[in-house]
Amino acid sequence: MLPTLLRLEWRHLRRDTAFWIATAVLALAVIGGLASGFAWTRFQQETIDRARTMAEERLAAAKTDAARYRASPPDRLNPNLDPRDARGFEFSYLRRFALLPPTPAAPLAVGQSDLLPTVLRVTYRPKETFLNPYEIENPLRLLLGRFDATFVAIYLLPLGILAVSSSLLTREREAGTLALLASLPLSFRRWLAVRFLLRGGLFLGAFAMATLAGWLLFGGSLEALESVLTWLVLALLYGGFWFALSWWVGSRARTPAACALTLSGAWLAWVVILPATLNLLVRHLYPPPARAAFQDAVRHGTDEAQRRGSQLLAKYLEDHPELAPGDTPANENDFFRTRFAINAEIERLSAPLRARFGQQLSRQQSLIEQLRWLSPALVLHHHALTLAGTDRARHQRWLEAIDGLHARLVQFFEPRLLRSADFQDYDAVPVFEFSDPPPSRGALGPALAALLLPSLLFVLLGAARLRSVQP
């Protein structure tokens, strides 16, 4: 009976223009989303490559210029431009970048990688001088997120599914064909299930094909294929959830209008309202200090530290006796000693503010991770960002690696800046160390269950409801 039902449903489907238009639009949308994701990732990679090239070129230039100046010392050269001087090397030549390269699967989900920095020049100066130098982008983009494959999966895929499946039963009732169908000796539930399965299979199949074709078309890495396939499985289960919901709502609704209204309300609630409400809730429960107030406090601290420069210097030298002037003339390097003292004070002042900021963000993140199970859209979003490496957690690990580099740069440069002349440790400058942990698929199980179980529930509820159908 199943092949007959499939063949008969195919007769309907091949003439269902709306279905084919919706399928084509979705396929084009996911290809468009991938194109946008690839364009952004390419831009990020080019920026990172430029930064890397610049760092290498400047280091090579430092060595060349230093050799030239040693061979033929110039008459007058500003120490800030002299690569033989640690000051000049650090100021004019050293470009030590912390780079966060996109993962091979990054084109799947841009996430907030277009808002958060992925290239930062790290120096021995206070972190506030190089962290957060970027501008927040267009607020509209902040609200909607960049158009990418994950955006298509979360927002457009369910809309397409509702368009092609919401009225499969109610339309028959409204058109009056249900009476004839219900009088036939067939399991009505099976007939409707075949309608859903064929449409669902073709619609989601087209989505999967378009995703894989787009991935290969835009030169996506084969190394990321496992992540792409995992993303696809999650997106298809998410699609399955919407088909199951449509099946259940369709089994209860009397008219296509009531069915469409209920389903669009569910879409609005799960995809738009619930995530926005949770966002507001976590912000209300764990409000981070306002960034402006944070910057203001740091600026205040800087001014205060500079005003108390000599006082701070005395205290600083107590803590760092190895940096005391010793036999050298007392004021020769006082600028740097004072600078270090001020830097240390700024770090001391800003550390608790930054810690509070980080703590609140981490609490927000942890709460939203617990609450994400309330919405399948949030489940897919969370895992899509993790798979693409554009999640907050990866960015946080990167910022922690920047902290490490900063501490090592301070340790490296402070004594050398005081000695300043005859700097030759070009290759000993600490380098940025960041690597991604091996991928963990541990969290995938709960995500699959979170998408599968409600779908199963809706399927069973709908099936129970369809035991008998009244035309």
Partner 1 sequence: MLTARSLHKKFGSAIALHALDLNVAPGEIYALLGPNGAGKTTTINLFLGFLQPDGGSATVAGVNVALDPIRARHALAYIPEQVNLYPHFSGLENLSYFSELAGQRYAETKLRAFLQESGLQAEAHDRRVSTYSKGMRQKVGIAIALAKDAKALLLDEPTSGLDPAASHEFSALLKTLAGRGVAILMATHDLFRAKSDATRLGIMRHGRLVHELGGPEVRAADLEKLYLESIAD
* Residues in touch with partner 1 (CB under 8 A): 4-5, 8, 11-12, 15, 175-177, 179-187, 191, 468, 470-471
What whole-number distance in Å separates Cα of residue 6 and Cα of residue 3?
Answer: 5
Residue type, 12: H
Nearest residue (CB) to partner 1, 21 versus 276: 21
Length of the chain: 471
- Residues 243/159, Cβ–Cβ less than 8 Å: no
408-to-99, 125, 346, 405, 411 alpha-carbon distances in Å: 17, 12, 17, 5, 5
Nearest residue (CB) to partner 1, 23 versus 230: 23
What whole-number distance in Å separates Cα of residue 194 and Cα of residue 12?
Answer: 12
Exposure string for 175-195, b = 16+ CB within 10 A, e = fewer = eeebeebbeeeeebbebbbbb
3-state DSSP call for residue 235?
helix
Nearest residue (CB) to partner 1, 9 versus 90: 9
Proportion of the chain in helix, strand, coil states, percent, rounded to 5: 75, 0, 25
List CB contacts of 134: < 8 A, sequence separation 6 or more: 117
- Minimal distance, residue 178 CB to partner 1, in Å: 9
- Minimal distance, residue 172 CB to partner 1, in Å: 9
Nearest residue (CB) to partner 1, 186 versus 443: 186
- Minimal distance, residue 186 CB to partner 1, in Å: 6
Beta strands in 284-397 (DSSP E): none
- Minimal distance, residue 248 CB to partner 1, in Å: 22
- The conformational region for residue 116 under phi > 0 = left, psi -120 to 50 = alpha, else beta, is beta
Nearest residue (CB) to partner 1, 54 versus 179: 179
Number of Cβ atoms within 10 Å of the Cβ of 249: 25
Assigned token pair, 240: 């399955």
What whole-number distance in Å separates Cα of residue 125 and Cα of residue 144?
Answer: 36
Nearest residue (CB) to partner 1, 331 versus 470: 470
- Minimal distance, residue 263 CB to partner 1, in Å: 24
Nearest residue (CB) to partner 1, 172 versus 391: 172
List CB contacts of 213: < 8 A, sequence separation 6 or more: 31
- Minimal distance, residue 3 CB to partner 1, in Å: 11
- Biggest alpha carbon distance in the chain? 107
> Which of these, 46, 40, 36, lies nearest to 99 by C-alpha position?
46
Nearest residue (CB) to partner 1, 8 versus 361: 8
CB burial of residue 355 (10 Å; 0-12, 13-18, 19+): exposed
Nearest residue (CB) to partner 1, 186 versus 285: 186
Phi, psi values for residue 119, rounded to 5°: -135, 120
- Minimal distance, residue 33 CB to partner 1, in Å: 33
- Minimal distance, residue 19 CB to partner 1, in Å: 12
- Minimal distance, residue 1 CB to partner 1, in Å: 8
Nearest residue (CB) to partner 1, 9 versus 65: 9
- Minimal distance, residue 459 CB to partner 1, in Å: 21
Nearest residue (CB) to partner 1, 172 versus 414: 172
What whole-number distance in Å separates Cα of residue 333 and Cα of residue 339?
Answer: 10
- Minimal distance, residue 468 CB to partner 1, in Å: 7
